[in-house]
Structure 1
Amino acid sequence: MKNEQQSLLHAIDELSQNGYYIWDDFLSPKEVEELILAIQKENDSGEFKKAGIGKQSLFQLDKSVRGDFIKWLDRSTEHVSVQNFLDRIEKIKSSLNEFCYLGLKDFETHFAIYPENTFYKKHVDRFQKNAHRVISFVLYLNQNWQEKDGGELAIYLKNNTHIVQPISGRLILFRSEIEHEVLMSYKKRYSITGWMLDKDMSLTFLP
């Protein structure tokens, strides 16, 4: 518990200074395996949908921009592994509010599968007409990942580009206004992607 608290404080410090933080071994191999089983079960049941770009009236499908398939997650899930992950994210959100006064109210998240030879071109997560995403996060679920498999996350900072390998159990947190992209994945790529919001998800009438 002490090590986790220290990692959390370090994450907050790095987010404040650099805009992103890479948290290795956020989940154990066993926890990752349980989430992989959950994602495969949902996929086998036909629960995944082709992901689009934009929100609300601006939403569109464009495989030339992104090629992933997603399944949204919430507390009604039957998977204990997902519930445990959501609890961990809630704790991070609460700590960010406590130490950084970000006013985070909620978060949204989904499973993501990138089939072979797919990608997501450079973009930002904080929409101009729906600017409620504050902190983005990605948990990687790729066992035995090798460099030739691709699927890295490129983060475009002001003075340099940082390439994040999608290693199993790794969590990355970054500010949602930072440009980033998922590079070509040459092997099926699993992750959980989400965003911490400055509005309550139940207030769907808000833009």
Structure 2
Amino acid sequence: MSSAEKLNLAIDQLSDTGYFIWDDFVTNEEVKKLVSIANQSNQSGDFKKAGIGKQALFQLDKSIRGDYIQWLDRSNQNQIVLQILDKMESLKNTLNETCYLGLKDFETHFAIYPENTFYKKHVDRFQQNAHRVISFVLYLNENWQEGNGGELAIYLENQTEIVQPLAGRLLLFRSELEHEVLMSYKKRYSVTGWMLDKDMSLTFLP
């Protein structure tokens, strides 16, 4: 299936079911480069413990969320990171033009889940700051095997969709859907982010 065909399918499925799984969104070589950059940044102390909530409601709670993150933007000097940002920008613009979602910007970060960590059921669209429209997760886990855990469970009205965190796979879903990262028994990597209906610098506004 061509990229254009996958894009059309993504548009249809986001509208119909609220999520879409896009395999081979990036190549194995790109996955390797991104994992290498994430590991270097982690060793340099650039990753921080992720929290829950936003602004005044932000808090750290390992009983709810166990990942570590590094925010990504165009100040990053790594060419592969800039290429991924370009791809997500292009995808955001296309979804906006075809689905009329009012998307203005996106924010994204590396996420690393150490062994035996998880993120309990939640939604990405904050009640106090409801600017996240489409969530995305680009998985970077080479040779992931059944039993490694780390799946993402999306809770739909009549079913639960379980998504394996396979290398190169992009998951798109509506940010108001409940979901969780199940226990990961192996170190788990991703680029995670959200497409926003307001410029990122203005998302502190209601």
TM-score range relative to shorter protein: over 0.9
User: Counterparts of 1:4-43 in structure 2 under 5 Å?
Assistant: 4-43=3-42
SS of 1:202's equivalent in the other structure is helix
Q: Give per-residue Cα distances to partners, 1:152-175, cap 9 Å, x unaligned.
A: 000000000000000000000000
Q: Give per-residue Cα distances to partners, 1:154-207, cap 9 Å, x unaligned.
A: 000000000000000000000000000000000000001000000001225513
Q: Which moved more, 1:196-205 or 1:112-121?
A: 196-205
Instruction: Give the Cα–Cα distance (whole angstroms) in 2 for the partners of residues 193 and 75 of structure 1.
Output: 16
Letter in 1 for 2:27: S
Letter in 1 for 2:159: N
SS of 2:136's equivalent in the other structure is strand
Q: Give per-residue Cα distances to partners, 1:44-73, cap 9 Å, x unaligned.
A: 110000000000000000000000000000
User: Counterparts of 1:110-121 in structure 2 under 5 Å?
Assistant: 110-121=109-120
Instruction: Give the Cα–Cα distance (whole angstroms) in 1 for the partners of residues 19 and 185 of structure 2.
Output: 25
Instruction: Give the Cα–Cα distance (whole angstroms) in 2 for the partners of residues 118 and 103 of structure 1.
Output: 35
Partner of 1:49: 48
Instruction: Give the Cα–Cα distance (whole angstroms) in 2 for the partners of residues 14 and 163 of structure 1.
Output: 16
Q: Which moved more, 1:105-114 or 1:78-87?
A: 78-87
Q: Give per-residue Cα distances to partners, 1:114-134, cap 9 Å, x unaligned.
A: 000000000000000000000
Letter in 1 for 2:174: R
Partner of 1:106: 105
Partner of 1:144: 143
Structure 2 residues without counterparts, runs of 5 or longer: none
State TM-score, norm by structure 2.
0.98
Count of matched residue pairs? 206
User: Counterparts of 1:52-201 in structure 2 under 5 Å?
Assistant: 52-201=51-200
State TM-score, norm by structure 1.
0.97
Structure 1 residues without counterparts, runs of 5 or longer: none
SS of 2:147's equivalent in the other structure is helix
Q: Is the 8 A contact 2:129 2:203 kept in 1?
A: no
Partner of 1:3: 2
